[in-house]
Amino acid sequence: MARSAGTARSATAATGVKRSKKRPAAAPRRQHFTHFDAAGQAHMVDVAGKGVTKRVARAGGRISMLADTLALIRGGGARKGDVLGVARIAAIQAAKRTSELIPLCHPVPLTRVAVAFEFDVRGSAVLIEVTAETLDRTGVEMEALTAVATGLLVIYDMCKAVDRGMRIDGVRLLEKSGGKSGHFLAK
């Protein structure tokens, strides 16, 4: 329970013991969100002082569905055509337009975007993995993540006529390299 300043003075006068004004040791420096300035206002991070390096990010996710829906995708029998071909193009386009969708992202000149799909027959799902690369002052995590989410949403859109119960999950950064923060590999 906190005491008022008057109570603290009375306790000192009564006991003759003077309390130290020395502050406790400072806590370790806390991390902060870089997209807020000192006044708490949102801003685009200044990357002018950073060096240009090769930056790579790899992200992944999955969409679970009925076994019959997965069979249609695998066999190319979906009425709207090549589901994964359209999802691949959409993912690449989303990576290129990330700064238009995520307000504080820098426009990044991508040097490569690769999209790979894998079928999880036992889990009745399609897995997507996107690798984005650049030579720039800032990373491409958001580009890879945006591409993954968009690719999965396109699969949903193209297959919803036969399976509205599909579930998108597990969208996450798998790995990143380059820049000051170094290498990250998800566990």
Spacing of C-alpha 5 from chain mean position: 47
- Round the average pLDDT of the chain to a whole number and report it: 84
In this predicted structure, the answer to whether residue 5 has a pLDDT above a threshold of 60 is no
How far is 157 from 164, CA to CA, in rounded Å? 9
Degrees (nearest 5) of the Cα angle 51, 130, 62?
A: 140
Mean pLDDT of 16-27: 50
Residues 23-44: pLDDT tens digits? 555 445 556 676 667 777 666 7
Spacing of C-alpha 180 from chain mean position: 18
Residues 125-168: pLDDT tens digits? 999 999 999 999 998 999 999 999 999 999 999 999 999 999 99
How far is 149 from 121, CA to CA, in rounded Å? 21
In this predicted structure, the answer to whether residue 12 has a pLDDT above a threshold of 50 is no
What is the pLDDT confidence band of residue 13, given thresholds at 50, 70 and 90?
A: very low
CA dihedral 10, 14, 16, 19 (to 10 degrees): -30
Exactly one of 68, 82, 120, 157 is catalytic; name it.
157
How far is 80 from 102, CA to CA, in rounded Å? 29
Give this prediction's pTM.
0.78
What is the pLDDT confidence band of residue 67, given thresholds at 50, 70 and 90?
A: very high
How far is 81 from 88, CA to CA, in rounded Å? 13
Residue 157 among the catalytic residues: yes
